[in-house]
Structure formats: C-alpha cells, structure tokens
Amino acid sequence: MPTSRVIVVGAGIGGLVAALTLASRGAAVTLIEKENAPGGKMREVAAGGAKMDGGPTVFTMRHLFEEIFEAAGASLSSELKLKPVETLARHAWNGEERLDLFADIGRSAEAIGDFAGPREASGYLRFCERARRIFQTLDRPFIRAERPSVQSLMKGVGFFGMPRLMEISPFTTLWSALGEFFADPRLRQLFGRYATYCGSSPYLSPATLMLIAHVEQEGVWLVEGGMHQVAVTLARLARERGAKIRTGERVAEVLVSRGRASGVRLASGEVVEADAVILNADVAALANGHFGGAAAPAVALPGGAQRSLSALTFSVVAETEGFDLIRHNVFFSDDYAGEFERIFRQGELPNVPTVYVCAQDRGDRPGGPSGEERLFILVNAPARGDVKPLEAEEIARCEERTFRLMERCGLKLRIAEGAKTITGPNEFEKLFPATGGALYGQASHGWKASFERPGARTRLPGLYMAGGSVHPGAGVPMAALSGRMAAERLITDFASTRR
C-alpha cells in the first residue's frame, strides 16, 4: 500500500502505534494531534517547574511492544531503557498494616502468609493459578481477536476448551470470586483493585478481570525518563519511517465523500485529503458528533453503557517523611464499598478515597532521594466533567481527605510552594471531549461489556477506530494493541479492494 494516504487523528498510544505500523509498511501517514506533544493520556505534567508522568505509570506486557517494534524494524531494548521491578507495589491500610507484593509469586505468598496467615497464602497461590488460566484462555481467541463475540470465543477454544471457558467466571463479580480465595477483606480489597485498572468497580465487573494479576506477574518494568518516553519514542520512530506529525492542530470534522471517509477538516479550515482515517479518540466523541455529523453514525454506543472512572490527580514536588515509599504505593480506604457506591451510584467523589502514589524519583526498593521529590497522587472520581463539573469546594474536601488518609498511614508531605498541579474530571473532559473525564471508555460492568466495545472497523468504509474505548479495552498494552489492529485491518481492507 505504498500510495495510500492515511490520516491518524490523535497521538495517544493507539494512534502512535497505528501510525508507526502503517508508515513502516510504506503508507503516506499524517498524524494530527490537538495538543502540543504526543502521548494522549500518557502525558507529562508540570508542577513547580518539574515535569512528571501525569497518566499511566506502569509498563507491562513487554512482549507485545517487542512485537510492535520488531514489525517496524526497530528493537525495543535499543530504543527504550527498561528495568524490571522486583517489588510490584507497597500497600497500607493504616500506620501498622502494610504489605508488599512482588514479581516473584513465592515471595508474595510468603509476605501474605506473614501478613494474614498461611490459609491466605495458600489462597493467593490458587488465585494466581486461576488468573494464569484465564489469561491463557482469553489471550488468542478474545484479547488478540479483531472483533470477538460469544460465538467466536466458543469456537476459538473448541469443544475440549469449554471447561476452561467456564472457568473465566463471566457471570460472577470480581469481588464475589475473590471470596473463593481470600477470607481477609484486606486482600479482597487489594486484588479487587485490579478492576480499577480498566476504570471499573470490583463489585460490578466480572471475575474475568483477575487475569490482570497474571499480566503483572509476567513482569512490570520502569522506563528510564518516565512513561511519556514511550510516546516520544514511538513518535520519533514513526517520523523516521516517513510519517508527518502535526501537533497543536485540532480536527473538527471527518470528511465523507462517495460513502467513505475521505480526509479531515481542521479547526483552522484546512482540508487534508486521505484514502482512510484512523480515529484515536473515544467512541463517544465520534458518536456524539464531535467529528462532524456525517461520520457520527459510523459507530453506535452500547445501550445503557456506564462511563468508566475518572480521576482526581495531584502532581506535586514535596519532601516526605514517615513512610518508606517505593515507586508504586497504595493507601486503602476503610470504606471500599462506599467508595464505589459514591462514584458509580451517586456520581460523587468518595468520602474516604483509596489513594495511589507514584514516587517518580524512586525505584522498587526502599530508600529514596534526600530532599524534594516528584509525586503523582491519584484518587478515583466520577466522570461528570461535562454534565456536572466538580466545584472547587468538592475538590478541596477530597484533597483534605486524601492527604489525611496518607497521614493516617504514616506518610507526611511538605509540598513546595507553587509545586502542585490538580487535574480532575473537568480538565480531562477538555482533553478528551464527550467523555466527562472518563479515562477508560465504558466501564467493564457485566459480562456483556467487553463484547460491546466496537472493533477497529466502523460502519463507514475507510474510517477506523483505535484507543482504550474500543476492543480490546483500556490500559497501555491494550490501547497499543488496538492501534496495531486498526492498522492491520486497514491494510487488509486495502489489499482486498486494490485492482
């Protein structure tokens, strides 16, 4: 397809992978991004003159990125410096109750045994085995399938795979299924948190999501320079293969001519023609007309779909004391059910939020910098930035409760003057229109949710979708996979119609 002109809208991870894949195959690619830098949610935030990751902070599924880089004629290990972590995360419930999880399953089991007893350690080992089997069952016939359905999944596993298919527990909630392995509510809380990795509630999402535990156990890496460097590197490689990247320019409309996508019109009025368009944006933005009325019918939003979680984040530079942070830390609410009830049922910030802290100047072992360091602090929030923007008083109350919980667990912060940047649903809605600030597309609530995500190909010929709101779902690896799927679907379609 050397003569094909392709426009990719949005330089998030899905758009970057799509652009790189197509450019390496000879397509004339133009990537258009409304912000001034690539990355999308994988962005940098400034606080007091310091820059830090303000989005995803965990790099997993390294093998997938090795495949993407290799297909583009590059080497992941040559382009990015990655360091495997031994300690996945440090968890705290108060000043005394703390638990580290490790990449080594046996080491984690030992830590859980010391924390909650041998029965819970045994339950953890059974949980890990179930998570592994679920991942292996779903990897090829579902995650990597272009547009899976219940029928295609059953066909993919075959008759003799049906017992394994039933084991994924799609009709059981994650919270309920965790009760099969853990009697200790703290451990159910810890592993229930995997639902939030795709913006969902552990009380409403299917037990299938326990496969995320296996993904982490396969390896978590630290990226030298931060996660934003992944986006910067993908953009550079795409340019080196001929892609044009235009930042600071907003696409106002996807153009339609003779029943197919034919280019885009920018907010400036400029028209850029193309043979195909890949839209790396939330499905809701397309369906609700943010890219013009002609292209809006190309997708349909699932009936009754619920928005995923948004977040309230605090990017700060601070001195810390009292709690030995590592790179990834979680401070748990003592009202976990109430947290999700407030967010998903009432549309309000939680009274007692669970707090995630990424200490970006630290590694996975105790001991950090002396003096000030960069911290990215996140709590879950409702995605209502477009319908009922958060008021300053609500944000201030949540901030006070957030820092009070960390203090209760032993962490005290002295934030440098002018070194705090707050980003919430209101700001995320502006960055990602038509989402209300939802960061993961639709929530994965109920067994049908994963099958209802649109695939790469839309109803409009020549228009394709990528990103966390389409199959295979949210998260850095899944969004990257969606970009590769969109590019491959486009290549296949063009090959089948070329004279």
Residue 412 lies in a domain: yes
**Residue 333 and residue 410 in one domain:** yes
The phi and psi torsions of 31 (rounded to 5 degrees) equal -105, 125
Average model confidence (pLDDT) across the chain: 92
Higher-scoring residue by pLDDT: 210, 145: 210
**Residue 122 and residue 166 in one domain:** yes
Question: Is-contact 332 324, C-beta < 8 A?
Answer: no
Quick one: how far is CA 34 from the chain centroid?
Answer: 20
**Residue 13 and residue 64 in one domain:** yes
Which of 405, 431, 457 is the last residue in one of the domains? Answer: 431
Residue 138 lies in a domain: yes
**CATH code of the domain covering residue 15:** 3.50.50.60
Higher-scoring residue by pLDDT: 62, 154: 62
List, in order, residues 6 or more apart from 215 with CB less than 8 Å away: 60, 61, 135, 477
Lowest mean pLDDT of 137-151, 273-287, 476-490, name the range.
137-151
Q: What angle do CA 342, 344, 349 make, to 5 degrees?
A: 40
pLDDT given at position 321: 95
**Residue 14 and residue 34 in one domain:** yes
Q: Which residue reads 């703390």 in tokens?
A: 98
**pLDDT confidence bin for 452, thresholds 50/70/90:** confident
Question: Is-contact 40 29, C-beta < 8 A?
Answer: no
Which of 197, 218, 239 is the last residue in one of the domains? Answer: 218
**pLDDT confidence bin for 151, thresholds 50/70/90:** low
**Is 90 exceeded by the pLDDT of residue 341?**
yes
pLDDT given at position 1: 53
**Is 80 exceeded by the pLDDT of residue 26?**
yes
Residue 164 lies in a domain: yes
Q: State the total domains in the chain.
A: 3
Report which residue type is found at 280.
N
| CA diameter of the chain | 70
Cα distance between residue 210 and residue 71, in whole Å: 30
List, in order, residues 6 or more apart from 369 with CB less than 8 Å away: 361, 362
Which of 431, 454, 476 is the last residue in one of the domains? Answer: 431
> What is the domain extent for residue 176?
108-218
**Residue 294 and residue 274 in one domain:** yes
**Is 90 exceeded by the pLDDT of residue 41?**
yes
How do residues 87-128 score in pLDDT, each as one tens digit?
A: 999 999 999 999 999 999 999 999 999 999 999 999 999 999
Indicate the pairing of strand 463-466 with strand 276-280: parallel
Three-state SS annotation for the chain:
CCCCEEEEECCEHHHHHHHHHHHHCCCEEEEEECCCCCECCCCEEEECCEEEECCCCCEECHHHHHHHHHHCCCCHHHHCCEEECCEEEEEECCCCCEEEEECCHHHHHHHHHHHHCHHHHHHHHHHHHHHHHHHHHHHHHHHCCCCCCHHHHHHHHCHHHHHHHHCCCCCCEHHHHHCCCCCCHHHHHHHHHHHHHHCCCCCCCEHHHHHHHHHHHCCEEEECCCCHHHHHHHHHHHHHCCCEEEECCCEEEEEEECCEEEEEEECCCCEEECCEEEEECCHHHHHCCCCCCCCHHHCCCCCCCCECCEEEEEEEEEEEECCCCCCEEEECCCCHHHHHHHHHHCCCCCCCCCEEEEECCCCCCCCCCCCCEEEEEEEEECCCCCCCCCCHHHHHHHHHHHHHHHHHCCCEEEEEEEEEEEECHHHHHHHCCCCCCCCCCECCCCCCHHHHCCCCECCCCCEEEECCCCCCCCCHHHHHHHHHHHHHHHHHHHHHHCC
Residue 63 lies in a domain: yes
Q: Compute the average pLDDT of residues 263-286.
A: 97
Q: Compute the average pLDDT of residues 133-143.
A: 79
Cα distance between residue 186 and residue 3, in whole Å: 57
Residue 53 lies in a domain: no
Residue 385 lies in a domain: yes
* Nearest to 456, CA basis, from 468, 445, 465: 465
**Residue 313 and residue 301 in one domain:** no
Question: Is-contact 362 373, C-beta < 8 A?
Answer: yes
And the tokens for 432? 């990602």
**Residue 291 and residue 231 in one domain:** yes
And the tokens for 103? 């990449």
Residue 49 lies in a domain: no
**Residue 72 and residue 178 in one domain:** no
Give the N- to C-terminal CA distance of the chain in Å, as an integer. 12
**Residue 117 and residue 200 in one domain:** yes
**Residue 117 and residue 162 in one domain:** yes
Report which residue type is found at 173.
T
Residue 264 lies in a domain: yes
How do residues 177-213 score in pLDDT, each as one tens digit?
A: 999 999 999 999 999 999 999 999 999 999 989 899 9
**Residue 376 and residue 477 in one domain:** no
Cα distance between residue 130 and residue 124, in whole Å: 10
pLDDT given at position 149: 59
**Is 60 exceeded by the pLDDT of residue 29?**
yes
Q: Within 10 Å of residue 77's Cβ, how many Cβ atoms?
A: 11
Helices 62-71 and 476-497: angle between axes, nearest 10 degrees = 30
pTM attached to this predicted model:
0.94
**Residue 424 and residue 460 in one domain:** no
And the tokens for 311? 């977040």
Q: Compute the average pLDDT of residues 384-409.
A: 97
Report which residue type is found at 1.
M
